[in-house]
Structures are given as C-alpha cells and as structure tokens.
Amino acid sequence: MADEPIINLHSDSHFMGEALRQAERAYEAEEVPVGAVVVRDGRIIARAFNQVELLKDATAHAEMLALTQAEEMAGDWRLTDCTLYVTKEPCPMCAGAIVHVRLARVVFGASDAKAGAAGSVLNLLRFPTLNHRCDITAGVREPECRMLLQNFFAEQRQGGSKAGAAKERGQKKKG
Ligand SMILES: [Zn+2]
C-alpha cells in the first residue's frame, strides 16, 4: 500500500473522473448527464458530453461526439489502441459505433438495465458474428455516475429544471 501513489493518473478511476466532469457539464446544460473521454497512450485525446437537446440531434450522445473527435485527432477512423471511458453503459447506437472504430477497450460507470448494449440487455461489444470485439470494464465509479443520472431525472420529474419547466409549458400550450 505504501508504494502506491496517492493519485494514479493512469488509473481507470482517474479517467472516469474526467468523464464525470463532462457529465457534470451536460447536467449544467440540462442534457441527460453522460460524459465520455477517449484515452490513447495514457493521454486524453477527446472529451465530450451528451448534446442531444443543444444540437437537436438524437445521435449526439457523448460517445458518438467523443469518437468523432478522437478520429480527427488520430487522423484515422481506426481507434484500435484507444480506450473509451463513459459514465453510462453505451446504448446500441454507440456500441455499434464503438465496434466500427475498433476500440480496444470500453470502461463504463453506471449500467443501463433498459438499453445497455455492453452486457445489460445485449452485448454488441462482444457479439460473436461481428468482426471486432472490445474488452469491457464495468462499474468504475458507478455510484457517482448513477447518482448524477438519478438526480437529473428526479429533477426533471419535479419540473424543477428550466428544461422541464419549458417542456411543461409547451405541453400546456398544445393542450
Ligand atoms: Zn448512445
């Protein structure tokens, strides 16, 4: 124990912390709080948070935006030596993209029992007939990742956020 550094800058926990910072930015922007970073050779080459509402684009999940950034940084669509850290288990769309860019490894925080495509509902990251499989590490800093999502949805239900209030106003107008 005494030999272990106090802060391991290359640990999964550290990089998940960076993904959590992105998720907090999403929360502040009233987006579903999911954040992602892509790491290559111990360095972050892409960071993104969910921007579905901001960009009015249902495909603008944190993972999709981070992968596109990472491809630009790498100058290649192949990300075979990269690891993606994401606060929530990837959905089928993102898992599909992860396989397409041939990521080496995916590390996620909170599982998604309804839509998780990295083992919860299905596992596209290790699908037998696809031509690429990723290593998966689940549950890194899971309580923090899950709390952020739970708090967000609780706030939405209460109509406490600006987005929630705006949505309610919109519904009232329609009604
Ligand atoms: Zn997704």
pLDDT, tens only, 25-41: 999 999 999 999 999 99
The β-bridge relationship of strands 105-110 and 135-137 is parallel
Contact 137, 107 (CB under 8 A): yes
Ligand 1 centroid distance, CA of 89 (Å)? 8
Crossing angle of helices 12-28 and 142-158, rounded to 10°: 10
* pLDDT reading at 173 higher than 90: no
User: Which letter, b or e, does each residue of 93-131 get, where b requires 16 or more Cβ atoms within 10 Å of its Cβ?
Assistant: bbbebbbebbbebbbbbbbbeeebbbbebebbbeeeeee
Ligand 1 centroid distance, CA of 132 (Å)? 18
Return d(Cα 142, Cα 107) in angstroms, integer.
11
Q: Per mean pLDDT, which range of 43-47, 137-141, 170-174 is the poorest?
A: 170-174
Return d(Cα 48, Cα 18) in angstroms, integer.
10
| DSSP H/E element including 137 | strand 135-137
Determine the pLDDT at residue 159: 82
* pLDDT reading at 175 higher than 50: no
Q: Please list the residues that pair with 44 across neighbouring strands.
A: 39
Ligand 1 centroid distance, CA of 69 (Å)? 15
Token output for 114: 């309804």
Taking only the tens place, the pLDDT of each residue in 120-132 is 999 999 999 999 9
Ligand 1 centroid distance, CA of 165 (Å)? 25
What residues act catalytically?
Answer: 63
Helix (H, G, I), strand (E, B) or coil at 84: strand
Return d(Cα 88, Cα 140) in angstroms, integer.
10
What one-character DSSP code corresponds to residue 39? E
* pLDDT reading at 2 higher than 70: no
Ligand 1 centroid distance, CA of 88 (Å)? 9
